[in-house]
Every structure is written in structure tokens, then in C-alpha cells.
Amino acid sequence: DADVTQTPRNRITKTGKRIMLECSQTKGHDRMYWYRQDPGLGLRLIYYSFDVKDINKGEISDGYSVSRQAQAKFSLSLESAIPNQTALYFCATSDGQGVNQPQHFGDGTRLSIL
Amino acid sequence: QKEVEQDPGPLSVPEGAIVSLNCTYSNSAFQYFMWYRQYSRKGPELLMYTYSSGNKEDGRFTAQVDKSSKYISLFIRDSQPSDSATYLCAIYRYSSASKIIFGSGTRLSIRP
């Protein structure tokens, strides 16, 4: 089984709908992250959480919200989806800060907003 | 100006060739430099990291950093079809709120 599991893997929905992407991990890491990946723009950080009671905005948090339900679960919500939120979304975890504590990524959710 | 720039490719080379992947960054305060590999329909995985100028070798892979010119490279020797993937450079500066900044990735294809 994957250490970082994202659901769903693919989702197509309409403008204005509320969407929730879920991430669960079995690595026991405290830190969890949500990124989106767009062609030509690379990975951009949406939100991150260093523990259950800690939530921080990343560089592109507008239009998104998150919930850290437990150490192992971190969900990303789009309250009212819009077409420019069409992207590949990744959840990641890490055991601490620094390059010797690498981020471990899930396999992504491909989200299309029509 | 983006903090890290990377040529998106695609780059296609024959099996056995030496591959050179490159990035430039703008802020000399960045201390750590990483390369992630991302296979199709998979998340990125850390390939190598370094924090000093010079070379770091790991098997067929060599990461090179030139801090004076703010230039980082990844060399792949004896390239294999299994090396076909997107390679993302990433930079990092240690602080209380530090985050990794990723390049946009270079798509590499190794032809058998």
C-alpha cells in the first residue's frame, strides 16, 4: 500500500461545485502539504500543516481551504470551484524541516473544472 | 522574476548518452539544492540533494552547484529508458517558515 494516499485520483466537476480532495498517510509524519502542479509553473504550495493544530497558508491559498482531521489526514477543499483551478494536486508529508527530511508525495489528483 | 528557472524541454536523447539538466536561481540566500524525479502519473520523489558548491555523485547521477553563478545541474551518465521522467530542481533556505521552491520541471525521454 502507498505511504501517502490521495483520493480521488481523477475528478471532473462543474464550476461552482464544492470539491474535497483527501490525503491520508501511514508514514507517521507530523508535517503535511498540499501543492498544485500546472504546466510551466511547477509545484506551488497551497497550504501546509506542521501538526494537527497548525495550519498555514502557502503562496496560492485563495479559493482553497484545508482541514487537518488527524495526524494522518489532511484534506483540501475548493468551496466554489472555478475553471482556473483545473490542475494536478499533490499531497506530501515530511518528518521535519530540511533537505535531509525529504517530502514524500502521493500520486496526485487530476482535477478538471468545466 | 521566478526564484528558480528551468527549461521545460522536452529533451530526447538516445540510450547511453550523458544527459545534462539545468536550473538557475535568483536569490543567493538559498542554501540547499535538490533534484526530484517524477514519473508519469506519479508524485515527485527526491533523487539527490546538496548544500555546497561542487559535485555530489550517486551512482550514475551527479548533482553540481555553482553558487557564484547561481546555477545547478544534474548529470545522468549511461542514460537508460527507465530514466525517462520529468526532473524538477528545487531550492531551499533554512528558516522558521522555510519552504521548498520547485522549478517547473524538464521532461526527459531516453530512446532505446
Cα–Cα dist A10/B27, whole Å = 36
CB of B23 within 8 A of CB of B72? Answer: yes
* pLDDT bracket for residue B28 (50, 70, 90): confident
CB of B6 within 8 A of CB of B26? Answer: no
Cα–Cα dist B35/A85, whole Å = 26
* pLDDT bracket for residue B13 (50, 70, 90): very high
> For residue A38, what pLDDT is reported?
93
> For residue A90, what pLDDT is reported?
97
Please compute the mean of the pLDDT values over residues B95-99 and round it to a whole number. Answer: 64
Q: B105–A58: do the CB atoms touch at under 8 Å?
A: no
> For residue A1, what pLDDT is reported?
58
CB of B100 within 8 A of CB of B88? Answer: no
Q: Is A107 on the interface with B (CB under 8 A)?
A: yes
B96 pLDDT higher than 60: no
Which residues of B have a CB under 8 Å from any CB of A?
Answer: 6, 8, 32, 34, 41-46, 49, 51, 88, 92, 94, 97-100, 102-105
CB of B106 within 8 A of CB of A43? Answer: no
Q: Which residues in chain A are contacts of B92 at CB distance < 8 A?
A: 98-99
A33 pLDDT higher than 70: yes
Cα–Cα dist B53/B111, whole Å = 32
Q: Residue B43: which of A45, A99, A105 has the nearest Cβ? A: A105
CA-nearest residue to A48 within chain B is B99
Higher pLDDT, B26 or B52: B26
* pLDDT bracket for residue B51 (50, 70, 90): confident
Q: What is the mean pLDDT of chain B?
A: 91
pLDDT digits (tens, 9 = 90+) for A50-108: 999 999 999 899 999 999 999 999 999 999 999 999 999 999 999 876 666 788 999 99
* pLDDT bracket for residue B2 (50, 70, 90): confident
CB of A76 within 8 A of CB of A8? Answer: no
Nearest by Cα to A21 from A61, A79, A84: A79
